[in-house]
Amino acid sequence: MTKQQASADATTILDLFTIGLGPSSSHTVGPMRAARMFMDSLPQCPKRVQCDLYGSLALTGHGHATDSAILLGLSGYRPQTVDPEAIAPILASIREDGKLHKDGQRAAGPTFYEEGDLLFHKDEFLPEHANGMRFTAWFEGTADTVGRAYYSIGGGSVLSEEEGTNDAALGHNLVPPHPFSSAEELLAMGEETGLCIATIILKNEEIWRPQEKTEAFLDKVCDAMTASIERGLKQEGFLPGGLKVRRRAKSIHTRLRSQKDTFGPAHTFEWVSLFALAVNEENAAGGRVVTAPTNGAAGVIPAVLHYYRRFVPGADRDGEHTLLLTAAAIGFLYKKRASISAAEMGCQGEVGVACSMAAAGLAAALGGTNQQIENAAEIGMEHNLGLTCDPIGGLVQIPCIERNTMGAVKAINAAYLALQGDGRHIVSLDAVIETMRQTGVDMSNHYKETSLGGLAVNVVEC
């Protein structure tokens, strides 16, 4: 078990589904949080700050907007609350003044010049994780500095240097009523209690907050996913970053709406693909999305959720809650038994995990047994094993956007395939998670969010 792993017992859905900014949870959201954490940890406002980025953060940081995220985080902004429309002028003012913001005030913070204070170490990896960064602060009247390393471990989660070397720091002292650390234990818990997976998670969440607050959070997540789809369907033009990728969701939406009399499996899957496309175009543009479980895979679960809402007779809010809670249970297992970081696992750890989560969630919302749900999750991952992360230009665009459409359709297929059986199958979810982990360990770093291999080097950028 790596230092990024622990038992799944006390993980909360708030850690798995977070509302933040695109284009990347590990390269944008995580570094922004780490930068703010560092500033909040200081005894006083420093006169100067420096940030060193390592490994995957350095190799694809510009394409993933890590540089912008660091400036925003050091200036005290949060990914879940900063206005996406305000980011460009905020960054422009920081770069013009050579000073970070403080408490929202322009030129009130420490000195920061990107050329000398934001350094990309592309040939160096910190030992704890491929997504490592180190901050250093200088203060008036003393030569002493304060420095601290942080690791963005996937899905926007961040560990400090101290936590990264202490396994106990990854868990919590809270013990849920229905603890589990494997799919086998989760199924056994269901057999023992007679509860479905969604209810097990709902009851476990009560160690953190009352049930009504958990349900309110799930409603907020559903609404945020809907909002990201709706925004994505309205936008057009080119995505930022230089690849000149044209946004397609609006034109496809217009065409599908004109085909009101057309119905069939292909038409349904066109809608599902559109939902995922809209979210991931919005993510690539730096818009507001739900990390589910990462930004690079942010379109899969919303697309499957909207498939359920639009195409399943009798779909309701309770079913949406069941879908998300069940998906979360599967996400907990991947996060704790392997990783959801593409810098460690490749894209099998992002789109693959999202596909597995969505398949399980849909199977649950459609009335599947716990065994059928586990089977759906296993199918969803089994056919994503070995999926590499090789973004062209270090941008979360090609193949990332279309890969989410594939993941969403595959999740629906996996759910229905599992529901055709009685839950008995040869490859267990635990086995496929361990296989994913081993595959990620064996996978060359060239295919793990570094843009050093695959499509990233075999396609000429225009």
Give tens-digit pLDDT for 355-385.
Answer: 999 999 999 999 999 999 999 999 999 999 9
Q: Which two tokens stand for residue 204?
A: 């476990």
pLDDT of 107: 78
| Cis bond before residue 31 (omega within 30° of 0) | no
Q: What is the number of residues in the chain? A: 462
Confirm whether 243 is domain-assigned: yes
Same domain, 91 and 189: no
User: Domain of 250: which CATH number?
Assistant: 1.10.4100
Confirm whether 291 is domain-assigned: yes
Residue 334 and residue 340: Cα distance in Å, rounded?
Answer: 7
pLDDT of 161: 86
Confirm whether 127 is domain-assigned: yes
Confirm whether 2 is domain-assigned: no
pTM: 0.91
Task: Indicate the pLDDT class of residue 162, thresholds 50, 70 and 90.
Answer: confident
| Cis bond before residue 399 (omega within 30° of 0) | yes
Same domain, 188 and 145: no
Same domain, 150 and 187: no
What's the domain range around 40? 21-160
Total domain count for the chain? 2
Residue 343 phi, psi dihedral angles, 5° rounding: -70, -15
Same domain, 148 and 222: no
pLDDT of 173: 64
Instruction: Report whether pLDDT(289) > 90.
Output: yes
Confirm whether 101 is domain-assigned: yes
Instruction: Report whether pLDDT(346) > 50.
Output: yes
| Cis bond before residue 23 (omega within 30° of 0) | yes
Confirm whether 114 is domain-assigned: yes
pLDDT of 266: 85
Confirm whether 171 is domain-assigned: no
Q: How far is CA 206 from the centre of its chain?
A: 24
